[in-house]
């Protein structure tokens, strides 16, 4: 697994505002979308392209277009839904699948309650959206689901990551085709499995405490 930490000033600026308890739901949502678009720009860097030429008003130009098959975006329910708009802004042609995992608050072990993914992902680039890479249990499960269906690559876009979570995923997946792109690797997890200093519960801040 490869980890890419994006330390661009705009990313750090937006992440700092996102962490702030003073940021209300509307601000949190729009900052999340902007941040995801910036992370997605780096996360899509290795997408395959094929040469094409186009006619401009004054001549012919050589260029590229994204090679098929279409990529798959996989927001992890529920907080990953808050990242979808920022991602489809860059990849409007992508298909979207959904995965839902529930984390037991005591054992912190994740179990699957929703699996809306294509049965065959042969040769496809996939992008997992999950704002918080905490223990890594959820992400490892989702990566396995995608890899077992033949995905060519799995790139997870996480706003924040804990060192514990990164170690967990790295131990499970050695391949270069598995990548995590994040805005920050924070200090640690606390006893409740929250990232410190983190930003709190991403789902609650995006959608309210329901």
State yes or no: residue 146 binds ligand URA (CB under 6 A). Answer: no
Residue 5 burial by Cβ neighbours in a 10 Å radius (0-12, 13-18, 19+): middle
State yes or no: residue 202 binds ligand URA (CB under 6 A). Answer: yes
How far is Cα 53 from Cα 63, in angstroms, rounded to an integer? Answer: 6
State yes or no: residue 80 binds ligand URA (CB under 6 A). Answer: no
Q: Residue 75's beta-bridge partner residues? A: 129
How far is Cα 7 from Cα 26, in angstroms, rounded to an integer? Answer: 25
Torsion angles phi and psi, residue 26, rounded to 5: -65, -45
Query: Residue 176 Cβ, how far from ligand URA at the closest point, in Å?
Result: 26
Query: Residue 160 Cβ, how far from ligand URA at the closest point, in Å?
Result: 7
Query: Residue 132 Cβ, how far from ligand URA at the closest point, in Å?
Result: 4
The piece of 25-33, 52-60, 140-148, 194-202 that touches ligand URA (CB under 6 A) is 194-202
Query: Residue 122 Cβ, how far from ligand URA at the closest point, in Å?
Result: 32
Query: Residue 202 Cβ, how far from ligand URA at the closest point, in Å?
Result: 4
Instruction: Specify the DSSP class assigned to residue 37.
Output: H
Among 134, 140, 143, 158, binds ligand URA (CB under 6 A): 134
Instruction: Specify the DSSP class assigned to residue 82.
Output: G
Subset of 40-79 contacting ligand URA (CB under 6 A) = 79
Taking each helix axis from N to C end, the angle separating 25-43 and 9-19, rounded to the nearest 10 degrees, works out to 150
Contact residues toward ligand URA (CB under 6 A) are: 79, 132, 134, 193-195, 198, 201-203
């Amino acid at each position: 697994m490869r980890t890419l930490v994006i330390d661009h000033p705009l990313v750090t600026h937006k992440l700092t505002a996102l962490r702030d308890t003073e940021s209300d739901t509307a601000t949190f949502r729009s900052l999340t979308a902007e941040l995801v678009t910036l992370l997605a720009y780096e996360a899509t860097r290795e997408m395959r392209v094929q040469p094409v030429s186009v006619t401009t008003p004054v001549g012919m130009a050589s260029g590229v277009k994204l090679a098929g098959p279409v990529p798959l975006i996989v927001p992890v329910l529920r907080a990953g839904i808050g990242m979808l708009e920022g991602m489809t802004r860059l990849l409007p042609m992508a298909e979207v699948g959904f995965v839902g995992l529930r984390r037991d608050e005591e054992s912190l072990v994740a179990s699957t309650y929703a699996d809306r993914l294509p049965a065959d992902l042969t040769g496809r680039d996939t992008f997992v959206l999950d704002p918080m890479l905490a223990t890594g249990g959820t992400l490892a499960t989702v990566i396995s689901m995608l890899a077992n269906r033949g995905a060519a690559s799995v790139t997870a876009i996480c706003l924040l990551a804990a060192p514990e979570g990164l170690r967990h995923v790295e131990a499970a997946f050695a391949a270069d085709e598995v990548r995590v792109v994040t805005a920050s690797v924070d200090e640690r997890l606390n006893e409740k499995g929250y990232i410190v200093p983190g930003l709190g519960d991403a789902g609650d801040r995006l959608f309210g405490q329901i």
